[in-house]
Every structure is written in C-alpha cells, then in structure tokens.
Amino acid sequence: MEEKNSGRNRWLHIRLTKEELHIIDRNFKASVCRKRSDFVRRNLLRKPIVMKYRNESLDKLLQELIQLRTQLSFMGNNFNQSVKKLHTLFEISDLRVWIMAFDSERDRYFSLVDEIKKHIENLAQKWLQS
C-alpha cells in the first residue's frame, strides 16, 4: 500500500553533487521503490527499503533458456506432425514426397539443434566466468 500524498505540502530542497546524485540514482534503481522521491524520503526517515535481490545474470540465462525451450518445442511439434503424416500415407508416391520433405526438415532440425548446443555452451562459459 502506498502512503497518501495529500498531506505532503512541505518542500525540502537540497543540493547534491553529480556524484552524490549518481549514487542515489544507482541505489534507487537497485530498490523496489517506484519513485525517487519515495526512495529518498524512506532514507531520510530511516524507514526500511526493500532492495532487489535477483541475480541479473541468472535472469538473462533464464530468458535465453526459455527461448531455447520454445525452439525445441516447435521442433518437437513439427516432428510429431511428420510422424503422424507418415502413419497416414498409403501409397508409395506419397511416401517418396514425404521422405524428400522430411530430409530437408531433418537438416533444418539438426542445424537448429547445433545452434541450441552452441548457445548452451556459450551460456555455460559465461556462467563459469562470472
């Protein structure tokens, strides 16, 4: 719950150096406060301030892994559709057309899997360097 601003009708003016303002802004951005004035007011009144505790490098890793999972799901769905199509083919000519299409799709799948492996390897290297 946010405090009501209706009773706040007094101003407090202070002058800061560029470095001081930079420190305040950096700390403000690391907090969960939505406004700088709220952050500064809480500091001045010695009220508790909740700081962000999420690991940003882990967030980036999770975003990339989510993208990779999406690509893998897409590939799995396409493969399942191909197998279902194979079960419905009755004539040899249909089978030949399907095999030719599957060969091109298979190559695309393997290239995507290789790309995913490279991404995972890069992420692992970045994670180990942190």
Taking only the tens place, the pLDDT of each residue in 59-89 is: 777 787 788 878 877 877 887 787 777 777 6
What pTM, to 2 d.p., does this model score? 0.40
Looking at residue 110, its pLDDT comes to 79
Q: Which residues, other chains included, contact 65 with Cβ-Cβ below 8 Å and sequence gap of 6+?
A: 123
Q: What are phi and psi of 99, to 5 degrees?
A: -65, -40
Q: Which stretches of the chain drop beneath a pLDDT of 50?
A: 1
- Please, what is the angle between helix 36-44 and helix 18-29, to 10°? 100
The C-alpha atoms of residue 28 and residue 38 are separated, in whole angstroms, by 9
Looking at residue 2, its pLDDT comes to 55
